[in-house]
Structure 1
Amino acid sequence: MNNQNLASADILIVDDVPENIRLLSTMLMDFGFRVRKSINGKMALMAVKALKPDLILLDINMQGINGYQVCEALKNNPDTSEIPIIFVSAINQIEDKIKAFQVGGVDYITKPFQVEEVMARIHNQLKIQNLQRDLQLQNQQLKATQKQLAATQVELIQKEKMVALNQLVAGIFHELNNPINFISGNLDPAYQYVEDIIELINLYRQEYPHPSPQILARSEKLELDFILEDLQKLIRSLKTGIKRIDQIMLALRIFSRTNEAEMKSIDLHECLNSVLHLIRHRLQGNNHNIEIKVIQQKAENLPFITCYAGLINQVIMNLINNAIDSLQSADSQAHESDWVPTIWITTEQVNPNRVAIRIRDNGMGIAPELQSRLFDPFFTTKTVGQGMGLGLATSYQIVVEKHNGQLILSSIPGEGAEFRVELPIAPIPQRSVS
């Protein structure tokens, strides 16, 4: 209702004296208002429930439910609490006027009244109501804009981080690829050379079982037998180390999806393996961190999904890291003595069109009053310096807004938390973001 439509507002008159109702309704209709009438408090409450008026003119002294009780009932109902109520009464005692304002009235007109006074007060309240509605609308628009700006800021930060990560990965591959290939390619012939030399030395020992004193002394000083035995172990360890580096490089390449198209078909189990490979150091116990057990329950024949592969890897990384942070910050004294910090990772096909990943921990859980804010940008329960509150907000954007999936939190304080990610198997149009 704008200022031009104030005169056509819907006004409910509540009075148990028919003459008063006729007088007020005639006066209001002459000014263009739409008027409804109720002769008692019960009928007034029914009329408001059927159709909310823009303003109510309410008498105080009525049989049955009086005006104060009607006003209190309307103000206690969230659906009708915003309706302005002007009391119109012959009572002129100051205590009655105070009570009228205490129960929620916005104005008070004393009978007998002047037409100009009634019209002025009605127009004033309707203008105030109109301004309040405009303000509420502007506040809603401002909140939506603020939310969009925060989401855009998160997206820009994450894009910058991913660009930096891709550049780092590309640099690592460029700098390490050649030396790793060189070492890996030469370890096998080096191992063969060592075996040949050892075989030759053993033949010399068979042919010349009595070496000279100088050779014997030198062999004892060098501990030749130990060297011959340990040299083969050393090269085998080098081969194991190179294999480990290859696995890390592969996991990093899968995680960042370097040089691959944004939208592609991926194996979620491969993504999980690569992430767990990269953060294995956080799961292993040391002087600073507790050891965390990971239990995987992978669905057989889980279909590949078509998605932004690098972003889905980022979501998996964020959620597992979040579970690790929760377990590491949990007070072990609050658990049973046999408490084993554990993360359960489960994959399943929900229906023919969707798959799900569930990541659950047995930490301290999340308080109910925090759960509704957990996906808000820059909101974090961590201490200063441990996080910016972007991980879960970014994950929500990726899953819900970019993939039309679902990211659902369920948590019982003291028993842990679970994040469930549902993703469509085939891409569908993105939701518009207002």
Structure 2
Amino acid sequence: MHLNQTNYHKKNILVVDDTPDNLRLLSAMLTAQGFEVRKALNGKMALTACQMALPDVILLDINMPDMDGYQVCQQLKADDKTSDVPVIFISALDDIVDKVKAFDVGGVDYITKPFHGAEVVLRIENQINLRLLQVQLQEKNFLLQQAIDDLKASQVQQIQNEKMVALGQLVAGLAHEINNPISFIYGNLQYAGQYVKDLVKLIEAYQQEYPKPTPKIQQIAKDIDLNFMIKDLQNLIGAMYRGSNRIQEIVLALQHFSRHDEAEMKRVNIHEDMENTLVMLQHRLRETADRPAIVVVKDYGNLPLVSCYASELNQVFMHLLNNAIDAIEEGVGNGEWGVGNLSSTPYSLLPFDYAHGKPTPQIRIHTEVTLNMVKIAIADNGLGIEESLRSRLFDPFFTTKPVGKGSGLGLSISYQIIVQKHRGNISCTSSVGQGAEFAIEIPIEQSER
């Protein structure tokens, strides 16, 4: 099979041989067949020629002084720039050729002197065709991988959209259902408190007007411990006020978190949104039988209002904070929480808990302005993440959590929201036993798309 002119476009052949006669013979032979030929008398010249212009095929003599063909081939294969260039070894018919070594160092074929023109051209053309097929295969593999990646990204986006719609509807319904009864309770507590005060005032008046009650009334007062009840009623009313107020705060945080009716970009206070997300996670931060309460250290900078898709940014905060809590919980499960010391990171954690003899489980939230961006960094003192896993953290459906504990979508969705939707950056710094820090940066102002 011969390549036509349109197929190989004057392919460039580098001939390396320390015998000038062989160089002239091969050059004339190949030039006559339409190849562009360059010549090198030794290995050093050959390596320099490859750096100047990459050949399509190299004909390389094995027996050369100073640097033999095997050594030249090894250096070519060790360099990313020249590693894919096919190398055909050439040697004299009576030379002892180590064919195994020739292939081991990266050669693809070999020919012997004296040269037969048709054989040389055929072997070169075979290698050019093989290389062309390899390039085409690589291109198809790349396009296939790109199609798979696009499909995964599309699936993640669809899941994210469906989750946001479902979340918005759920939160709106919950907020409405909870708001009605809690508003009724909170509003009536004010009247109940006043009624209690009036009744206590009446009882005190009776005690003054009738200092010697009947034995029956004395017994009832003793049984119910009247004095204690009067004092404790005030505490109970106060506790109910605080509880009702807390529920209203949670409902408000739910509404702010989902922002189901705010699909457009708007200017928001990042710290307020972070606080609302923390309200949602209070139940996970509290002390458990296995560990002290997780301390949240807020190292907030002076941030301006930021243009963003608020509900989606809140999703990112939720994912990152949940992951930080999971990392600490995983350390608890392994009996290793708080073993690391993040003092070497930009935002040092870990005040020492002398009562337990361990660092306190902790999450630190740092915010600052960097040029035209805002940076939000969330660090934990959990177990940390192995280097081999960090490069895959943002891949769709990849998770480091046990089966059934994670979907592998949280960080992938976060990546899409921060990088693709807000034109920002998201990164992770971590090492095993040293905790982890996820940092996101988004522009303060989003330019028109």
1:323 alignment counterpart: 324
> What amino acid is the match of 2:8?
L
CA contact (8 A) 1:2 1:130 kept: no
Give the drift of 1:256: 0.9
2:397 alignment counterpart: 378
SS in 1 for 2:55: coil
- 1:338 paired to 2:358: yes
CA contact (8 A) 1:366 1:412 kept: yes
- 1:307 paired to 2:298: no
Of 404, 413, 424, 2:443 maps to: 424
Give the drift of 1:168: 1.2
Unaligned runs of 5+ in 2: 341-351
Q: State the identity %.
A: 51
| Matching of residues 30-429 of structure 1 within 5 Å | 30-91=32-93, 95-288=97-290, 290-300=292-302, 302-330=303-331, 331-332=336-337, 334=339, 337-351=357-371, 353-429=372-448
Q: Return the alpha-carbon distance in structure 2 between the equivalents of residues 11 and 317 of structure 1.
A: 59
Residues 80 and 2 of structure 1: is their aligned pair in 2 closer, same or farther, counting only changes over 3 Å? farther
Q: Return the alpha-carbon distance in structure 2 between the equivalents of residues 96 and 218 of structure 1.
A: 112
SS in 2 for 1:105: coil
Q: Return the alpha-carbon distance in structure 1 between the equivalents of residues 138 and 252 of structure 2.
A: 54
Of 23, 26, 48, 2:25 maps to: 23
How far does the alpha carbon of each residue in 1:60-80 deviate from its partner, in whole angstroms, 9 at most, with x for none?
222332222211221222221
SS in 2 for 1:117: helix
How far does the alpha carbon of each residue in 1:376-397 deviate from its partner, in whole angstroms, 9 at most, with x for none?
1122211112112211121111
Q: Return the alpha-carbon distance in structure 2 between the equivalents of residues 354 and 376 of structure 1.
A: 25
Give the drift of 1:88: 2.2
CA contact (8 A) 2:339 2:358 kept: no
> What amino acid is the match of 1:157?
I
How far does the alpha carbon of each residue in 1:295-351 deviate from its partner, in whole angstroms, 9 at most, with x for none?
111113x10001000111111111111111112222148459331111111111112
SS in 2 for 1:161: helix
Q: Return the alpha-carbon distance in structure 2 between the equivalents of residues 194 and 333 of structure 1.
A: 49
SS in 1 for 2:407: coil
Residues 194 and 21 of structure 1: is their aligned pair in 2 closer, same or farther, counting only changes over 3 Å? same
Residues 138 and 334 of structure 1: is their aligned pair in 2 closer, same or farther, counting only changes over 3 Å? same
Q: Return the alpha-carbon distance in structure 2 between the equivalents of residues 360 and 262 of structure 1.
A: 30
How far does the alpha carbon of each residue in 1:249-295 deviate from its partner, in whole angstroms, 9 at most, with x for none?
11111111132243111001101111111111111111255421111
SS in 1 for 2:51: helix
Q: Return the alpha-carbon distance in structure 1 between the equivalents of residues 48 and 218 of structure 2.
A: 114
CA contact (8 A) 2:13 2:38 kept: yes
SS in 2 for 1:8: coil
> What amino acid is the match of 1:283?
L
> What amino acid is the match of 1:349?
V
SS in 2 for 1:286: coil
Q: Return the alpha-carbon distance in structure 1 between the equivalents of residues 155 and 397 of structure 2.
A: 10
Q: Return the alpha-carbon distance in structure 2 between the equivalents of residues 10 and 244 of structure 1.
A: 77
> What amino acid is the match of 1:169?
V
Q: TM-score, normalised by structure 2?
A: 0.90
Residues 7 and 399 of structure 1: is their aligned pair in 2 closer, same or farther, counting only changes over 3 Å? closer
> What amino acid is the match of 2:158?
L
Aligned-residue CA RMSD (Å): 2.2
Give the drift of 1:188: 0.6
Q: Return the alpha-carbon distance in structure 2 between the equivalents of residues 110 and 223 of structure 1.
A: 114
